[in-house]
Structure 1
Amino acid sequence: MPIVPDVKNWTWVVERACADCGFDPNGTAFEAVPALTRDAAVRFADVLQRPDVRVRPDDSTWSPLEYGAHVRDVCRLFDSRLALMLAGTPDGSVPRFSNWDQDETAVAERYDQQDPARVSAELVDAAERVARSFESVPLSQRHLRGERSDGSIFTVDSFARYFIHDLVHHVHDVRG
């Protein structure tokens, strides 16, 4: 059963609280992002041990396994995008991120057929890597920018809040 693609523009979560999951960007310091990332990874590792990890709650919602694979890939993607923002471009322009279609990736990578134990281990590893990357960013670089393929512009600081909302929201989605 195919999932209806999420076409919402979630960039507003860097400015105001999310009523669904309770994430408040204004109450989330940049320095808290690494610990929140690690916490989300631990919670997902627990979720991925559930016996019903492959079961979708309804026809339009991913299973906990699919969410786990997505969160793993989000951690990997944001780590590479953060590196791009910090490295900049040779001509000094704002680095532009290539498009990433999460729904297409879920189908192509067969999220629903992946091994939960492997997804868990890879998610914890990817979360640790991106947490360390955020920890290594000095205050003097948090103003650096990156541009998403749809034209949305982030600073490293707003990018961190956008990222951690995704993890917090998906922990909420799977009731982790």
Structure 2
Amino acid sequence: MTTNEQIPPDTKDWTWVLSQQCPDCGHTAVDVAGPDVGATLREATPRWVAALQRPDARDRPEPTTWSTLEYGAHVRDGIRIFGARLDLMLTQDDPLFDNWDQDATALEDRYDLQDPSVVADELAEAARATADRFDSVADDQWERPGRRSNGSRFTVLTLGQYFLHDVVHHLHDVRA
């Protein structure tokens, strides 16, 4: 089922995943230690690449549920954004992150029309770069702070844990 029907915006504040296991995907963000963020991202990447290579990657399971392609493009962009946020946290004191409207980005960038193989390659490259950046975090940098535009506060550690939940959760969404 391929359609470009608009998806209702996700208005949940997902920061709760930093305090409890996700009942949908089973991931427990706080179980990932800082030094393991990069490795965990690397472990998830081949599953994303394989999912994006499926013949039905463009098909939505329901008109108001993203396709694997759309989820993959979202995850790719999230990896890039969180990599940039990590850089800000490591180079600035308590930075305020620019807002990212993921739903507007999906529409503006036409996630539904992108090439799944290109998205797979771009996701893999973004994951490699962001994983490498997390691997470079020094022991005394894991508690450096940063803030989201809605006021949510993160440390480098909780940013990595929060971000990984998105990567893993959407693998669950696409059954990969």
Q: TM-score, normalised by structure 1?
A: 0.95
Alpha-carbon offset, residue 27 of structure 1: 2.0
Structure 1 runs of 4+ with >2 Å offset:
none
2:34 is the counterpart of 1:50: no
Q: How far apart, in 1, do the equivalents of 2:132 and 2:19 lie? A: 24
In structure 2, what is the equivalent of residue 121 of structure 1? 121
Q: How far apart, in 2, do the equivalents of 1:39 and 1:140 lie? A: 25
Q: Is the 8 A contact 2:61 2:67 kept in 1?
A: yes
Alpha-carbon offset, residue 25 of structure 1: 2.3
Q: How far apart, in 2, do the equivalents of 1:8 and 1:31 lie? A: 28
Alpha-carbon offset, residue 162 of structure 1: 0.2
Q: How far apart, in 2, do the equivalents of 1:74 and 1:109 lie? A: 14
Moved more, 99-108 or 20-29: 20-29
SS class of match (2:58): coil
Deviations 1:92-125 (A, max 9, x none): xx20001000010000001000011100000000
In structure 2, what is the equivalent of residue 35 of structure 1? 39
In structure 1, what is the equivalent of residue 98 of structure 2? 98
Q: Is the 8 A contact 2:38 2:132 kept in 1?
A: yes
Paired residue type of 1:158: T
In structure 1, what is the equivalent of residue 90 of structure 2? 86
Deviations 1:17-62 (A, max 9, x none): 1011111123221122111111221101000111111111112210
In structure 2, what is the equivalent of residue 65 of structure 1? 69
Q: How far apart, in 2, do the equivalents of 1:31 and 1:142 lie? A: 9
Q: How far apart, in 1, do the equivalents of 2:36 and 2:155 lie? A: 16
Q: Is the 8 A contact 2:30 2:161 kept in 1?
A: no
Find the partner of 1:23 among 27, 42, 46: 27
SS class of match (2:97): coil
SS class of match (2:146): strand
What percent of counterpart residues are identical?
52
Moved more, 24-33 or 109-118: 24-33
Question: How large is the Cα RMSD of the aligned pairs?
Answer: 0.8
Q: How far apart, in 2, do the equivalents of 1:28 and 1:149 lie? A: 25
